[in-house]
Structure 1
Amino acid sequence: RTFYMNFTQTDIVDAIEAWPFVTKVERTNCDIYVLTDPPPEELQLEEMQGEDCKLEELRPEHASIIHNLYPARELEDVEVFSRLITKLPAYGVFSKGELAAWMIQSYYGAMFSMQTRPEFRRKGFG
């Protein structure tokens, strides 16, 4: 049986690898960087293109739209998206009230899901 873990500390993976019933562990090591300069309040944002565009927090009812376009949806249940939207920063660009693009933060602090719906691509929503 396969078990996937993302962005897990090396010490934890080492301990799991030592379990007698674990037969194989594959890993990719990486560094995580955080932007601290300039402070968020000093960021210069471009004007959004499109008609009647707004940046708003996502709500749990957006989870199924997002999950349907997620490339690895067979690995993540729609409930994961719903929980992340509820507990962590998650924002969407809405055009005429319709979700056009989004970003969901993951439990490890990275931007987990950033996508634009196909009908809104090439319009500056990303």
Structure 2
Amino acid sequence: MKFISKIQKKETRRLPMTGKVKKGFRYYCMAVLTLTAVFAMSTTAFAAGGDPLTVVNNLSDFIFGFIRAIGLILLGFGIVQVGLSLKSHDPSQRANGFLTLAGGIIIVFAKEILTLITG
């Protein structure tokens, strides 16, 4: 009984497409991309009926939430970079990792830092 058989080298080839099939596939792809773009860009915007200050505060909260998300991404990337540098014993990569980590922490807490500064 043979458990290990000879590995056969298999070739991969593209399936043949005629000109009409290629053209139809292009039209299909363009239709899907167009419909995706139309549905992605058509969002309903509701105006706030109250105080304009509330609108500004909501916009500020949204922007700081977006900044916090970017900071969390940088924080995670910094942790990965420090971990890889500890594995490879590379001091320059370790320094870059700690700088990315510190930058991510500062960006995550940017709103709290600004409120602390402004009082």
TM range (shorter): under 0.3
TM score, norm. by length of structure 2: 0.19
More strand by share: 1
Larger radius of gyration: 2
